[in-house]
């Protein structure tokens, strides 16, 4: 049965006007780190950082130190850091049990440099069934938006980096709307607590409050009181959603179906939810040019090199490649005539985390949404839809795409991708076993 959703057309969405001078596209993680630290140092009214996590590593320490310095210089500065409740209270996948980043937050607040409030947001009673995946840093009237979290690899603090997308938008109305949602929907919730304070309730104690919060989030929207519509110039619409058939999902599908000439999609994990895959198939049938840029399996953040100790989580990049090969085989004719283009990103052991959609020269969707089943049904996600009816973003768009393509290779036919038989023994045996009992389908939905 086809997914039914209302279609207030994209042209009818309320939006905040922009000037081309107020939008800047950054093209690398190192620039992202420098820009974030510079904006923190320059802030005078407010700093709201929202990410999946702020990591206890060199880059995380650098960000925390910058926040503490900013607070000391301007005591009235309103600083709030929001991270996922569950992710903050565990170690890395495969590591021994530990206090996680929350232990470091508490140590920072107890130190001489003063407390920076770090709030844990639980959007579900278990991390497996939903996390805070909102993105966007608000610094005074500027929004720095990226799908990145805050750690060494996302901020390119040392040798390795994880490539994402990074955009600066100076727009007071947008900044106000994003802060208002954080304050009214999250910070005011009885389910949200500071992780930097010594006494913190357990998840079990918060179960009822978490259920109430999730129900409220399903109905929340960004405040568009000061937005305008119709508006026929460069503008931005913030979108938010959680759970199945939410407004963000519906507008994302509407965005794909609106294409007249070309669609470009970036995703780190080739595992589209059924409604997205259905729209992509329709685009190809309609003769629309479709380009999909995805990370090579070795550029996946779950990839484990064959010479290292194998863990089951390391099979995920191979599962995604199985999906990609199957898709390429189904659409081999479109690949041959270059209506469909597939690009694999790979850069010397660095990883790929790009998400987003470009439609014609009219729309640019920047988001932390992985465009996978988990994002479409479990996590709290958001996005910024940039309306560009006059093509004012064309130069920035091309610069960003050129930077991405610098490390990609085209896939011209499905046979260029490895088969399960060619995978390392441990991977091949695990995937064969999972496929027999169809557990792989469950994994696709939750990872």
Residues classed as catalytic: 133, 164, 353, 381
Q: How many CB atoms lie within 10 A of CB 253?
A: 20
CA atoms within 13 A on the CB side of 62: 16
Give the pair of three-digit tokens for residue 127.
Answer: 């991390």
Whether 230 and 11 have beta carbons less than 8 Å apart is answered as yes
Whether 385 and 237 have beta carbons less than 8 Å apart is answered as yes
The H or E element that residue 293 is part of is: strand 289-295
Length of the chain: 447
Residue 381, classed as helix, strand or coil, is strand
What residues does 47 pair with on adjacent strands? 79, 139
**Burial readout 160-193 (b: 16 or more C-beta within 10 A, e: otherwise):** ebbbbbbbbbbbebbbbbbbebbeebbbebebbb
C-alpha closest to that of 22 among 234, 169, 227, 235: 169
The whole-angstrom separation of Cα 356 and Cα 354 is 7
């Amino acid at each position: 049965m086809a997914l039914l959703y209302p279609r207030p057309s994209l042209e009818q969405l309320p939006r905040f006007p922009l000037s081309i001078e107020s939008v800047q596209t950054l093209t690398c993680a190192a620039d992202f780190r420098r820009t974030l630290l510079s904006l923190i140092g320059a802030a005078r009214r407010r700093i709201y950082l929202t990410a999946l996590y702020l990591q206890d590593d060199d880059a995380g320490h650098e960000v925390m130190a910058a926040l503490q310095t900013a607070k000391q210089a301007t005591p009235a500065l309103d600083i709030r850091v929001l991270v996922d409740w569950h992710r903050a209270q565990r170690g890395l996948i495969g590591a021994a049990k530990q206090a996680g980043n929350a232990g470091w937050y508490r140590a920072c607040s107890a130190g001489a440099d003063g407390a920076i409030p770090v709030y844990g947001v639980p959007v579900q009673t278990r991390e497996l069934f939903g996390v805070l995946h909102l993105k966007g840093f608000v610094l005074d009237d500027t929004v720095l938006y990226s799908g990145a979290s805050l750690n060494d690899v996302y901020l390119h603090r040392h040798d390795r980096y994880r490539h994402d997308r990074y955009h600066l938008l100076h727009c007071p109305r947008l900044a106000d709307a994003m802060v208002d949602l954080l304050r009214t929907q999250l910070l005011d919730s009885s389910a949200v607590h500071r992780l930097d304070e010594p006494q913190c309730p357990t998840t079990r104690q918060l179960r009822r409050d978490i259920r109430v919060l999730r129900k409220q989030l399903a109905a929340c929207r960004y405040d568009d009181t000061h937005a305008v519509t119709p508006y026929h110039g460069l503008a931005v619409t913030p979108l938010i959603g959680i759970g199945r058939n939410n407004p963000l999902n519906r507008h994302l599908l509407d965005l794909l179906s609106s294409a007249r000439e070309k669609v470009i999609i970036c995703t780190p994990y080739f595992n589209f939810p059924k409604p997205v895959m259905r729209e992509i198939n329709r685009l190809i049938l309609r003769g629309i040019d479709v380009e999909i840029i995805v990370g090579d399996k070795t550029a996946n953040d779950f990839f484990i090199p064959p010479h290292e100790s194998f863990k089951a989580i390391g099979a995920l990049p191979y599962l995604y490649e199985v999906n990609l090969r199957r898709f390429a085989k189904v659409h081999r004719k479109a690949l041959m005539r270059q209506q469909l283009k597939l690009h694999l990103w790979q850069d010397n052991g660095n990883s790929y985390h790009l998400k987003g959609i470009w439609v014609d020269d009219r729309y640019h969707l920047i988001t932390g949404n992985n465009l996978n089943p988990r994002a479409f049904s479990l996590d709290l996600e958001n996005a910024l839809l940039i309306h560009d009816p006059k093509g004012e973003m064309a130069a920035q768009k091309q610069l960003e795409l050129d930077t991405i393509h610098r490390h990609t290779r085209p896939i011209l036919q499905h046979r260029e991708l490895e088969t399960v038989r060619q995978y390392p023994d441990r991977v091949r045996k695990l995937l064969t076993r999972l496929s027999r009992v169809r557990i792989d389908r469950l994994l696709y939905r939750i990872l």
